[in-house]
Every structure is written in C-alpha cells, then in structure tokens.
Amino acid sequence: MSIKARIILLSLFGNIAIGAIFFALSDYQDSQKETSSIESSATIYGQAWRTVLNDTFSSSLGLFHPQSGDPDKAALWAEAVDIDGKFFDLPVAVTTVLGRETIADSLDVLLEEAFIWGELSFAMVFDEKGNSLYCGTAAEGYGVDPCEESARPDFISTSTSRLKTGRAEEFSLGAVRSVSTIRDDAGELAAGFYQTLLIDLNNAQKKVGSVLLGKNLAEAIEIFEYDFSVKAVLGSSGYTVDLNDYFEAEDYAELGEIDPVVEPLEALLDENLLSMQEKGYWGELNRDLGVSYVAIALSDFAKIEDGKLVVVSNKRESVSKQVVADQYAFGVFAAVFLLILGAITWLTSYSFGGISKAIGVLSALTRGQLDVAMPKPGFLHSERDEVGQLNTSLETYKGHLIEMESIRATQSQKRQQRDKVVLDKMASLSSQLKGDAKKLLEADIDRMKSLTETDDFDKAEEASAELMSIAVSRMSDEVVALIEARTGEIKSALDRNEELLLNILPKSIADRKLADEKVIADAHESCSILFGDIVGFTQLSKDLGAERLVEFLDEVFTAFDDFSDELGLEKIKTIGDNYMVACGVPHFDPEHPYKIAEMGQKMVRYIQAMKPVEGHIPSMRIGIHSGPLVAGVIGKRKFIYDLWGDAVNTAARMESHGIPNKIHMSADTANIIKDRFAIESRGIMEIKGKGAMETFLLRA
C-alpha cells in the first residue's frame, strides 16, 4: 500500500477517532458539569432547608424548649402553673396515680392555643419507664393522626410499646431535638413527618418522665417549595410522601403530572443509599422526565437512611436545549469531516509527485553526483509550498557541501581559543589554592591539555566538551558547598520560626495560619474555660518590685503551663496576674469539664504549697464554666489564639465572684462533674452582668 493511500486511510480513521474522542469528552464534560451541578444544588438546598427547618422550629417547638424557649411556655416542664386558679405541676403529676388522672384535662387546656395556632401538631407524655400517659393532637389531617390507635411512631418500640431511649451521651441539658415519622398501621393514610423535641421531666433532681412535642413538616415543605419553585418529596425506609398525599398542593415546579416523577423515587433512594451515606447526598438528572433529583438528609438530627428530603427540579427546557445543541454539533462535525477528508485526498495527490522526484535528486547528491539536474516544478506547484522549498533546498545543498570545510576550520579555530581561555582560568584558580586542592586542580589541567592535542575534528570537539565538563564540575563543587551551607542556615531559621509559632498557636491553627488562611474562627458547641487570678496582686506588686514580681509570676505560670500540658489543655493567655486556660479547643474533648476541674485543683494546691513571699501568703480565685464559644485568630500582627462568647464572660464572672483558694463554678459545669468530684452549692447569688445564679464550690 502506498504512502498516499496510507495517509488518506489514516486521515479517515484519525478524524473518526477525533470525532469519537470529542463526543466522549463532551459527554464526560457534561457528566462532570451535571455532577458538579448536583453537588452545588445539594449544598444550596441543604443550607436553605436547614434554614427553613430551623425557622419553623423556632416558631413552634423552640418556644417550648426548657432552656431557650418562651419562659411562659417552657415553665410547664419544671414548675407548677396556674389553670383557672388551680396549680398544676406536671413533673409531680406523672409520679402519682391521682396526678396522672389530671394530666389529660390540664394539658388539653394548657396546650389548646398551641394546637390552634399551629405551634404544635401533637404532644405526648410518658412516665419514667416510657409508658404513655397522655397524647394530645391538633388533628391537622396531614397523614395519620399521631394519637390514633393505628399510628405507629418510629420513637415507640413495636415490641414494648414504650418510648425508645434517646441519643446517648449527648450534652443536651434535658432536651433532644430530632425528626420522626409516624406511619399508619392500617395502610389507609399517608405517613407523617415531624420535627420533635424530647424533654426530660425532673422532680427533686430525678428524671420522672418525658414529654415529646411534635410539629408536622408540611408547613416547612410548602415554604421550601414556594421559595425555590421545586417539588419536595420526603423519603424514609421503603416509602415516600409529598404534600399531595396530604392535600392538593400547588405545583410550584410546574411539573404537570406528578406521579411519573415521584413513582421512581422509592427504588432510586434504595439503590443509592450507600452513596448517600458516603457523600451525604445523592442526585441525578433524568433526561427522559426532564427533571433533576437531589436527595439530602432530612435533618442534622437524623441519619440519612432514616429520613431524606428529595428536591425535584424542572429541567425540561435545559434538557431540550441540550438535545438541540448535540444534534447541531453532530451535523457540523459531519460536514467538517467530509470537507477535511476531501482536502487531504487532493493535497496528497498534489504533493507526492514532486516529493518522489526530489527524493531521486537527493539520493544522487548524497552519492557525490553534484551535476544532477534539479526537478522542474509541475502543475499548481509554487516555490513557496513544501515541494518548491524542497527543490530550493536541494539547489543550495551542493553549495553547503563546499562551504562545510570552511565552516569546520572556523569552528576549530574558535574551539581552540575557547579551550585556551578555560585552561588559563583554571591555571589562575590553581595559583590561589594550596595543598591537595591545588594538586587535584593541576592534575585536571594536565589532563585537559592532553585531551586537546588532536587533529581529528570530531575527536577535538568531544575533547573540548569533556574539558568544559571538568571545569564546570570543579566550579560547581564550590557552588554546591556554598548552597548547602546556606540551605542549612535557612532550614535552621525556619525551624526556629516554626517553634516560635507553635508557642503562640495550637499546631492545627498554626498550620492554617501558615496556609495563609486570613480569618480563623471556629464555633465549638461544648468547651470548658478556667480563669485564675492572684488575690492581692496590686499590693504584692508594690512590695516585691518589678524584677522580683516578674520572677514570681514566671515561677507560678510556668508551673501552671506544666499542669496544662500534662492534662492536654490549651493555654489561651495571661493578662497581668490573670491566667486563662481552656479544654475542648481547638479539638473537642468529651472529658473537658473533668480536666478543667482537675486543673483548678492542681493550681490551688500549688499556690497553697508555696512559701510566703515578702510576708504575703499567696492565694488565688479560680472560676470555671462550660458552654459554647467561638475560637480563632484575628489580625495580622501580634496575633494570639483567643476565645469569645458568653461562656468566656461567665467563666470570668465565676472568678471575679469567687473565694480565695476555692474553685468557683457555674451550675452548667457542676451538673456534669458532680459524679466524679465533691462539690457543694454556694446558693443563689447575684452575678454581675448575669443576674441571679446558683453557683458551686469544688474542693481542692
């Protein structure tokens, strides 16, 4: 097969391959865009849904939260409330037979407005063993009524008919937020999806029962659909529910017939459950239906396999445009392919005739036949095309052969001059050296001279290259030694800088600072903070003098630093005689309240063991509090790792209202550590900026 035929076939199959690659890459790019779009949509929908969920929680169940809710509404869970002149105490009522008989009538009255105004969908009361004592409902009609006999809530055990145990080891302060489903055991009504709030009932510091409040998600779903013009479907284990299962809902997504869009979801969710568990979401674009599915966790308070929110978006217009674009691209590719194939066929026929003649002339020239006739240009040939340029090259080739000897002679002369310069420089360098270094360089010079003493042009060029290699090698040794010395100095400086930075910031924060993260601020849900202040510091500073005062503070705070390192705490800062340390930042530590309490004990014991200083018996006030805060680094000069939030202020108040050589703590910390440490109540006292608080003392 001729080269011409091979080129045409290669062009044919090459263009087909290029087209296939193009369409494959286009399809891959579309797939990547679709994946990126799904991921972006999952993030946006997730954030928006959590916002809607939190807003509806705040306006409903959140009002009844025992810590953060409306005090008038939340009072029911902890104290007696007035009902038409009679007092009703729910925590006490659940503990007696007579009291339980009053629960239904009392709660129906107390929760009537909450049911009417949509703040609650249902309320249930359970005794300490999880047996149901009361069930009240707003009867909204969104699926099966939670108080119906056929209702099967997922928070009730099917074997014992009792309330299931809530999440273990949670720092919940007596209230756990979750998402629950209630199915119809009779199979006649749709399942209901609810936000729930489980509240502990305590009497004399003992749990005597529980209250479970629920708010149907239908309102939140409708708000979400309206805001984003989408269709939202709720999915749980083996079934799906949308607003049309409750009432005739508005089609904000303009999907038209809903059933074909919703029916495949149950199977799709089961097939992609593993992917959802790994990535936290799942999604795909169904081009046949013209919709996109994005499934996310129904709530941060429930596993994705227990409850999912599937957002269905109308993509019919964009899919239609994509189909038209693909058809247009294929048509353009086919036209261009045929045009290119025809052009290649013509060009190969045009070019190969002249190339064959030029090959014959070149063969003659290489054999020394310098009088060979040059090929004449054919039809459509030009001096500027490849064949014309090849003929011109052949005409000049003979002249180049004659000029070659002259060029070689000139190159040889320049090489000799260059070699002489190198040898002179090496000799000059040798004269400045002594000992073994000088002997080694002189030996190199003798070897260089012997290499250049040849009349063979090619060997002389090789010898000159070797001469340059030897010279560069000797020079580079000096440069490498200098670089290694400088590199060691730079590394030592970097090590010192890193050590200094780690003395200022925690390692994980230092790494983020070195990565040029501009503002570092992290929210921590549960931490413990300790403030320690030396009593009588003002008078002590006057009596000791500046130098002795600094020595005293250095001795004390160095010991405190050792205690902090021993317990795995994070020292935050010292201000004058005030020492601040925290546990649970920058990484969560479930033992944070216990470790911070032990730190306080070590500090007090250390101070008590000190000898008098210039007639002063050292003592300290220590304050501890546990709670949420924000930690981070701000600014670009003289920055420190610092803490902000009400928890920090409360810990400072515990210190300022404390007793010398006593560990003063809030009830938040005391309630956690009381099982390991001996504590005593200090009673209710007025705390500056906080109001009345019950505080506690920890024995050192």
Give domain status of residue 478, yes or no: no
Domain count, the chain: 2
3-class secondary-structure state, position 445 = helix
Query: Is residue 501 assigned to a domain?
Result: no
Helices 386-431, 316-366: crossing angle, 10 deg rounding = 80
Q: What burial class does residue 490 get, using C-beta atoms within 10 Å of its C-beta: 0-12 exposed, 13-18 middle, 19+ buried? A: exposed
Q: Dig out the tokens for 625 from the structure.
A: 């509090």
pLDDT band at 325 (very low <50, low <70, confident <90, very high): confident
Residue after which a domain boundary falls, among 290, 316, 342: 316
Q: 263, 288, 316: which is the final residue of a domain? A: 316
Q: How confident is the model at residue 460 (pLDDT cuts 50, 70, 90)?
A: low
Q: Is 65 inside a domain boundary?
A: yes
Closest CA relative to residue 582, chosen from 627, 527, 504:
527
Beta bridge partners of 528: 583, 626
Q: What is the pLDDT of residues 213-269, one digit of tens each?
A: 999 999 999 999 999 999 999 988 778 899 988 889 899 988 888 889 898 988 888
Q: Are the C-beta atoms of residues 212 and 177 closer than 8 Å to each other?
A: no
* Model confidence pLDDT, tens digit, residues 163-189: 987 654 445 567 899 999 999 988 889
Q: How many other C-beta atoms lie within 10 A of the C-beta of residue 693?
A: 18
Whether 465 is in a domain gets the answer no
pTM, rounded to two decimals: 0.49
Tell me, yes or no, whether 40 lies in a domain: no
248 located within any domain: yes
In a domain, 575, yes or no: yes
User: Which CATH number does the domain housing residue 688 bear?
Assistant: 3.30.70.1230
**Cβ-contact 261, 293 below 8 angstroms:** no
The answer to whether position 344 is within a domain reads: no
CA distance 660 to 647: 22
- The 3 state secondary structure assigned to 607-652 is HHHCCCECCECCCEEEEEEEEEEEEEECCCCCCCEEEECHHHHHHH
The yes-or-no verdict on residue 530 having pLDDT over 90 is yes
Return the residue matching tokens 């055990």.
157
User: Which residue range(s) make up the domain with 642?
Assistant: 511-698
Q: Are 227 and 253 in contact (CB under 8 A)?
A: no
Write phi, then psi, for 189 (nearest 5 degrees).
-120, 155
For residues 629 and 642, give the distance between their C-alpha atoms in angstroms, rounded to a whole number: 10
Residue 580: the pLDDT is 95
If you average pLDDT over residues 35-62, what whole number do you get?
91
pLDDT tens-place string over residues 108-118 = 999 999 999 99
Structure tokens at 441: 């360089």
Handedness of CA 663, 668, 669, 671 (dihedral sign): positive
Boundary of a domain, candidates 260, 282, 316: 316
Q: Which of 11-20, 27-36, 185-194, 391-400 has the lowest mean pLDDT?
A: 391-400
Which H or E run includes 242? Answer: strand 239-242
509-536 average pLDDT score? 84
Residue 332, CA distances (Å) to 19, 251, 328, 574 in order: 11, 39, 6, 73
- The CA–CA distances, whole Å, from 653 to 463, 555, 574 equal 86, 26, 17
